[in-house]
Structure 1
Amino acid sequence: MSKLTYTLVVNGPVYGRQSARSAYQFAQAVIEQGHTLVSVFFYQDGVTNGTALSVPANDEFDLTKAWQTLAQKHNIRLETCVAAALRRGIIGESEANQHGLTQNNLAHGFEQAGLGSLAEAMLTQDRVVQF
C-alpha cells in the first residue's frame, strides 16, 4: 500500500456532537497506518476546537489539548477558518490587533487561515476527508 497525504476538514464543534472526536480518531488511524496527515482545517462550528478557553470536566476528554498534542508530535497544521472563527469569537493575536481588541483566545498551536488554504490542500493532498 502506498503512503498517502491527508487533510481533514472538521465542521463539528469541540463538544456537543461526535464529528470532531471522530475526526480526531480518524487522524490517529491515518497516522498509525503510516500515512501523513498534513493539516486539519476547522470550519463552521469546527473552529470552536481552537479555543483556548474550553475547560472540560476532569473526567471528560480534552479534545483541544488532544489536537495540540497530535499536531506537535506529527508536525500537523491546525488551521481555523478566520472568517468562521471571528464570527464565533475565536480570535488569534494578529486578528485581535487588527480589530483593536485587547484579548485573544486562539489555542496554542492553532493558526487562522483563509479558505485559500483549504483550496490548496484540496489540490495538493491525496485525500481530503470531511467530518
Structure 2
Amino acid sequence: MKLAIGCDHVGIELKPVIVEFLEELGHSVQDFGTDSAARVDYPDYAQAVSQAVVTKNCDLGILICGTGVGISIAANKVKGIRAVVCSEPYSAKLSREHNNTNILAFGSRVIGPELAKMITKEWLDAEFQGGRHQKRVDQISQLQN
C-alpha cells in the first residue's frame, strides 16, 4: 500500500518513527513534510495529504500534530476525506471497519511512539465492513455535497 504522511512542527519527532514502522510493514510512504521544527501551519499539511488520498495518488494518509485534533479537522474539510483522530487502537480499528476512514491522525503530545505504532497497525489491518455501515458512509458523503 502507498501511504501519505504529513505533520506540523510538533509532530516532527514522531513522524520518522511512523515512516520507518510503515516501511518495515512493507508499505511505501510519500512524505509531505514538514521536515523541520520551525513553526508551520498544520492545515497546509492536512491539505497536501488529503489531496494525495482523494486523487488516489496514495491509498491512505496519516497526519500528526500536537493533539491530532486540528490537523484532522482541517483534513475533513477536503471533500472525500474521512479523517479520524485516535489515541487508542480500538477506535482506530472500528473507524476503518464502520466509517471507512481514509486518514488517521494522532497527537505527538498525547501518545508516544509505541502506542502510535499500535494504533497505526490496527487501523491499517482493519477493513471496511460495508453492509449496514455503507448507508451511513454514503450519508456522510452527502453532507459534503
- Shorter-chain TM-score range: 0.3 to 0.5
Report which structure shows greater RCO (CA 8 Å, sep ≥6).
1
TM-score by length of 2: 0.34
Q: Relative to total residues, which structure has the larger helix share, 1 or 2? A: 2
TM-score by length of 1: 0.37
